[in-house]
């Protein structure tokens, strides 16, 4: 009977096991620090991208045009960036409200300036109609007496604010209604009554002085204001 002797290779002692275990722990520690570094890099990239997006949204657009004399001047970018936009309801109502405040708010000291602001956005052919509607002779008598005019506009009371209603788009017409009051020379206030009239507007190119891009082309006013 033949006996077979099997030679077994030693698997290693405790030192080999401890060495392998230490190498594994060292590798895990390295990978842990690499993961932390990657997380920090990703966080930095997110912050950088957010900053660049915010800066891009807040950047100022520079527009330069030539004036009538051929000089290159800086222009308002809104007049160009919004030039092709359709006039929204907000644009129309804000323009009308600003116009009626300029037209019906005055003092003996700024009555001419207010009239200039009012007529600045009125088509030249319609200025006589607007002047008649504002009844400037009657206003002059009040100015000579030291009386000022006001539009009743109470911020916390929508009922006592100017009301603007868009009646049609073609042609563009708005119905305006508001209350007026007069400030007497002694400071006392007296009611001026309710004013209702219709304005006809037209879209024009936007300019720095007229960002809404609207002008007054006609109006129907009551016999007395």
- Token digits for 214? 């609207």
139 pLDDT higher than 60: yes
The verdict on pTM exceeding 0.85 is no
CB 151 within 8 A of CB 178: yes
Amino acid 200: pLDDT? 94
Q: Which structural domains are found in the chain, ordered by start?
A: 85-220 (3.10.450.230)
Contacts of 55 (CB under 8 A, 6+ apart): none
* Tokens found for residue 166: 């868009």
Rounded CA separation 31/144 (Å):
89
Q: Is the dihedral of CA 206, 210, 216, 217 positive or negative?
A: negative
Per the DSSP assignment, residues forming a β-bridge with 196 are 177
pLDDT band at 24 (very low <50, low <70, confident <90, very high): confident
Chain segment 42-86, per-residue pLDDT in tens: 988 888 888 888 777 766 666 666 655 667 766 655 555 555 567
Separation between Cα atoms, residue 207 and residue 95, nearest integer Å: 13
* pLDDT tens figures, 101-138: 999 999 999 999 999 989 999 999 999 999 988 889 99
pLDDT digits (tens, 9 = 90+) for 155-212: 888 888 899 999 988 889 999 999 999 999 988 988 888 889 999 999 888 776 777 8
Residue 88 predicted with pLDDT over 90: no
Q: Which residues pair with 179 in a beta bridge?
A: 194
């Amino acid at each position: 009977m033949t006996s077979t002797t099997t030679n077994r290779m030693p698997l290693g002692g405790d030192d080999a096991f401890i060495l392998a275990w230490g190498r594994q722990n060292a590798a895990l520690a390295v990978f842990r620090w690499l993961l932390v570094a990657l997380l920090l890099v990703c966080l930095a990239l997110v912050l950088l991208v957010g900053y660049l997006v915010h800066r891009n949204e807040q950047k100022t657009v520079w527009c330069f045009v030539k004036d009538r004399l051929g000089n290159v001047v800086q222009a308002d970018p809104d007049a160009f960036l919004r030039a092709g936009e359709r006039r929204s309801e907000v644009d129309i109502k804000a323009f009308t409200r600003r116009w009626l405040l300029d037209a019906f708010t005055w003092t003996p000291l700024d009555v001419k300036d207010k009239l200039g602001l009012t007529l600045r956005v009125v088509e030249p052919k319609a200025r006589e109609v607007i002047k008649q509607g504002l009844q400037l002779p009657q206003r002059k008598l009040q100015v000579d007496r030291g009386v000022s005019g006001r539009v009743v506009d109470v911020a916390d009371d929508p009922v006592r604010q100017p009301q603007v209603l868009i009646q049609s788009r073609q042609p563009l017409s708005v119905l305006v209604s508001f209350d007026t009051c007069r400030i007497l020379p002694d400071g006392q206030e007296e009611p001026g009554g309710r004013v209702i009239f219709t304005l006809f507007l037209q879209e024009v190119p936007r300019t720095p002085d007229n960002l809404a891009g609207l002008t007054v082309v006609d109006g129907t006013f009551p016999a007395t204001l």
